[in-house]
Copies of this chain bind each other. A is one copy, B any other.
């Protein structure tokens, strides 16, 4: 099966990961996060509900994939790895109180790497848990376990041209998705019916390519439920006077284009109109400001200055790096646009600039997914910035 990237690109990622391992003195790296597994090997399947991983040995040409035996054909079909580097564990390892898949991985490691060394694991991730951690500590021979949660994600931050192409494809999808959402939000329509059309558009994609499942379900609360950040749809019909927040994505080969917009059903109240103007003017100023060499915290500080004097208060971060990912998050969980983050912007980094405002009674969102260019930044998505009314 054809993979989304040339083998050369996977090898170049692996090389960068090994360089980073080398700088940290890590000889063996276990990655359990499905986005990191995909990034290094191509592996793609909804098998991450059982423990699985990719093991990078600094001295070996190819990583090892390990996972459930019934998923090993998935590794044969979706990765560039040779047969000898695909290890499937039997089903009695699955959700057992007696056996654990990490022990299966440790056996492979103990055989290959007998000298004293550091082994990196993802300590602050969803897909490596304390039971695995304790067993690894007990069973691995001669190794010191160290945190490498951000090792692969930091390499992922800078996109290749092909990755940017897929993110642009995802942007074409989200434009259609957002249109479809706006078309379907009307008084008397069930929120779930609008959500159904959103999902359909996400996967249907364009005439040239279909879409992939995004890492986050459509966030599209209405009314009072817009006072908080992460609610989906509810068992209700839209009503006159509803604010509807839309945080939706397009996705291609697990590369995302997230986008937020806000809709008001009816004549919007004065203060919401004012907030929307302040936020959108602020977004546009910040987009002009962003360029390589500036830091994440400088961008956030500039945003705060851009909206100062207004009633808009935004106390959370205003964006984060993003790209390739799996549920539950499309963010890379590395750089954030917020105070204290000194990450320096570089060409081909990608951010979701997302200044969401959630007040006591409702919210307002207007985001832009962007990539850093040689001398500024570009928006992935072409969609009007305004408070939409229906």
A interface list, Cβ under 8 A from B: 1, 44-49, 68-74, 76-78, 90-92, 94-95, 98, 100, 121-134, 147, 149, 190-193, 195-197, 199-205, 209-213, 216-217, 219, 224-225, 227-235, 315-317, 320, 327-329, 331, 333-334, 336, 338-340, 356, 358, 360
Contact = CB atoms under 8 A, between A and B. Distances in A.
A143 to B, nearest CB: 15
Contacts of A122: 129
A228 B147 CA distance: 32
Given A73-B358, A210-B191, A336-B94, A229 B47 contact: yes
Nearest to A216: B46
A340 B47 contact: no
A68 B316 CA distance: 10
A48 B130 contact: no
Nearest to A51: B124
A123 to B, nearest CB: 4
Nearest to A330: B49
A219 B46 contact: yes
Contacts of A210: 190-193, 195-196, 233, 235
Nearest to A134: B123
Contact of A204 (B100, B192, B203, B356): B192
A192 B205 contact: yes
Find the residue from A44, A46, A338 having the highest chain B CB count within 10 A.
A46
Nearest to A326: B328
A231 B77 contact: yes
A225 to B, nearest CB: 6
